[in-house]
């Protein structure tokens, strides 16, 4: 929907920025917030790449544009959190796209419809654009889970202002959450390990604290039946998604029609909840193919040679 503000997060990948920006231009939102981190210190190549990415942003439609560019490198967590928080000082809802999240054109209307339908449903805090669960497992056009996939998403100011970067509430309730989350023990264990790595600073991420906040607040996320975002950023330039052969890389998108069927109640769909958490944390996708193995073997050989 043209009335829904868009937050676009870029950094140093002008080629990817150009592709995603082309879809934003086609959607022609009336408000656009562009967030960019600064280049890494004393890295001339990175500085040039950041400048090239920023140069892509040329708005030629009727739009209120805010450019939130940092001169220094703040890092993934601080830059994304501060940028989104600043944007929400001016809007009450937004679609958030990063430079590697290529949306299907129907994503904008789907997000707009969901943001309006659930604007007063405080328990609904996140809308996913990505889906890796088979469509035939869905009873409606979307389902409620607690997984907050960050590859193309939307939310409201009322929800984002609850984010707890230190994840204090999550770790204070971790045993209760693990009993209530309705996912496999394997996925639950791996999820906890990842969140602890972020908590200790071993991993820099805003997305995991956001997920932990949702779990601690018992919030809900909307997962669409169709995949509406292709993650085109799986390469060695990525901070978290370096393996180009990943199951999650470059998945095809398809149209979400505006004739939506809605769940009867705002509550977790236990089947989709388990499926999506098992895919991301339980490793069940490994049973569906061997796409990731060539890169894993290469990495193992490189370690042996060093």
Q: What are the pLDDT digits (tens) for 96-152?
A: 999 999 999 999 999 999 999 999 999 999 999 999 999 999 999 999 999 999 999
Confidence of residue 43 (pLDDT cuts 50, 70, 90): confident
Does one domain contain both 191 and 81? no
> Using an 8 Å Cβ cutoff, are 285 and 132 in contact?
yes
Q: Is residue 248 part of a domain?
A: no
Q: How far apart are CA 103 and CA 23, in angstroms?
A: 7
- The answer to whether residues 15 and 140 belong to one domain is no
Q: Chain centroid to CA 257: how far?
A: 22
Mean pLDDT of 57-77: 96
Domain match, 70 and 115 both: no
195 half-sphere exposure, CB direction, 13 A CA radius: 27
Quick one: how far is CA 59 from the chain centroid?
24
Here the tokens at position 142 are 């979307």
Q: Which of 72, 99, 126 is the last residue of a domain?
A: 99
Q: Please give the pLDDT value at position 245.
A: 61
* Degrees, nearest 5: CA angle 173-176-181: 110
* pLDDT value at residue 1: 54
The yes-or-no verdict on residue 183 having pLDDT over 60 is yes
- Is position 198 within any domain? yes
Q: How many domains does the chain fold into?
A: 2
What is the per-residue pLDDT across 128-138, written as a single tens digit (0 to 9) for each?
Answer: 999 999 999 99
My answer on whether 56 and 17 are in the same domain is yes
Does 68 share its domain with 112? no
Q: Is residue 165 part of a domain?
A: yes
Banded pLDDT at 301 (limits 50, 70, 90): low
Q: Is the pLDDT of residue 161 over 90?
A: yes
Domain boundary among 99, 134, 166: 99
Q: Which domain holds residue 109?
A: 105-237+256-306
What pLDDT does residue 55 have?
98
pLDDT at 250 (0 to 100): 73
Q: Is residue 250 part of a domain?
A: no
Label residue 44 by pLDDT band (50, 70, 90). Answer: confident
Mark whether 132 and 83 lie in a shared domain: no
Confidence (pLDDT) at 237? 55
On whether both 90 and 109 belong to a single domain, the answer is: no
Residue 244 confidence (pLDDT) above 70: no
Gap between the Cα atoms of 166 and 200, Å rounded: 9
- Could you tell me if residue 246 is inside a domain? no
The pLDDT of residue 235 is: 62
Q: Tell me, what's the pLDDT at 3?
A: 83
Residues 174 and 265 in one domain: yes
Whether 31 and 118 share a structural domain: no
Tell me whether residue 299 is in a domain. Answer: yes
**CATH code for the domain of 54:** 3.40.50
What is the percent of the chain with per-residue pLDDT over 90, rounded to a whole number?
Answer: 77
- How far, in Å, CA of 103 to CA of 152, rounded? 7
Band of pLDDT at residue 40, cut at 50, 70 and 90: confident
Q: Is residue 122 part of a domain?
A: yes
Which of 66, 99, 132 corresponds to the end of one domain? 99
Q: Rounded to whole angstroms, how far apart are CA atoms 9 and 24? A: 12
- Are 34 and 83 within one domain? yes
What mean pLDDT is predicted for residues 246-271? 90
Band of the pLDDT at 291, cuts 50, 70, 90?
Answer: very low
- Examine the domain organization and report whether 47 and 152 are in the same domain: no
pTM of the shown model? 0.89
Output the pLDDT for position 292: 47
Residue 298 has pLDDT above 60, yes or no: no
Report residue 245: phi and psi, to 5°.
Answer: -95, 10
* Residue 36: pLDDT band with limits 50, 70, 90: very high
Q: Are residues 201 and 187 in the same domain?
A: yes
Does the residue 249 lie in any domain?
no
Report the distance separating Cα 244 and Cα 303, nearest Å. Answer: 19
3-state SS string over 212-224? HHHHHHCCEEEEE
Q: Which of 282, 268, 279, 286 is nearest to 133 (CA)?
A: 279
Query: Helix %, strand %, coil % for the chain, to 5?
Result: 40, 15, 45
């Amino acid at each position: 929907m043209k009335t829904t503000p868009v937050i676009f997060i870029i950094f140093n990948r002008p080629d990817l920025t150009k592709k995603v920006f082309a879809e934003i231009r086609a959607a022609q939102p009336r408000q656009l917030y562009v967030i960019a981190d600064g280049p890494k210190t004393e890295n001339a190549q990175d500085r040039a790449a950041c400048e090239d990415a920023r140069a892509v942003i040329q708005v030629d439609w009727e739009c209120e544009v805010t450019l939130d560019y940092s001169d220094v490198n703040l890092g993934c967590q601080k830059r994304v959190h501060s940028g989104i928080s600043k944007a929400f000082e001016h809007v009450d809802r937004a679609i958030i796209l990063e430079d590697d999240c290529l949306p299907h054109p129907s994503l904008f209307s789907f997000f707009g419809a969901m943001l309006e339908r659930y604007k007063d449903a405080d328990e609904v805090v996140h809308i996913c654009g990505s889906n890796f669960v088979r469509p035939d497992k869905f009873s409606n056009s979307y389902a409620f889970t607690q997984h907050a996939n960050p590859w193309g998403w939307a939310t409201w100011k009322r929800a984002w202002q609850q984010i707890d970067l230190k994840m204090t509430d999550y770790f204070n309730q971790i045993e209760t959450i693990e009993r209530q989350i309705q996912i496999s023990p394997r996925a639950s264990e791996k999820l906890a390990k990842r969140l602890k790595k972020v908590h200790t600073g071993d991993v820099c991420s805003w997305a995991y604290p956001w997920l932990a906040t949702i779990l601690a607040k018992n919030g809900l996320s909307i997962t669409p039946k169709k995949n509406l975002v292709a993650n085109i950023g799986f390469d060695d330039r990525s901070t978290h998604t370096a393996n180009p052969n990943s199951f999650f890389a470059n998945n095809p998108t398809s149209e979400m029609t505006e004739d939506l069927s809605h769940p009867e109640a705002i509550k977790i769909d236990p089947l989709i909840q388990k499926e999506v958490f098992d895919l991301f944390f339980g490793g069940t996708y490994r049973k569906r193919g061997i796409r990731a193995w060539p890169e894993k073997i290469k990495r193992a050989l490189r370690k042996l040679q060093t």
